[in-house]
Amino acid sequence: MLSFDLFMEGIVFEWLEWNGTTKNDWFFVLWWGVVVVWFLYGTYTLYLRFNKRKDLLNERSK
């Protein structure tokens, strides 16, 4: 994700002359929105994985 961001800001925005415009600001807002959603999804996935593992260990100990 970081390499995509650097590519967009370093090459594409320069080519489109978007640096310093509101289009760059909107990309920044959308980018961090995607990062937050990705983080929350990853956290939820890890929670489910560890919770499932804990349930399996509890069933084996019975």
Per-residue pLDDT of the chain (62 residues), as tens digits, is 778 777 787 788 888 887 778 877 888 888 899 999 999 999 999 999 988 877 766 666 65
Domains identified in the chain, total number: 1
What is the spatial distance between Cα 6 and Cα 19, in angstroms, rounded to a whole number? Answer: 13
Per-residue pLDDT at 3: 83
Of the candidates 59, 11, 8, the one whose C-alpha atom is nearest the C-alpha of residue 31 is: 8
State the pTM of this model.
Answer: 0.64
* Separation of first and last alpha carbons in the chain: 44
Per-residue pLDDT at 56: 63
* Contact predicate 32/1, CB 8 Å: no
Those residues with Cβ within 8 angstroms of residue 62's Cβ, 6 or more apart along the chain or in another chain: none
Domain range holding 35? Answer: 2-60
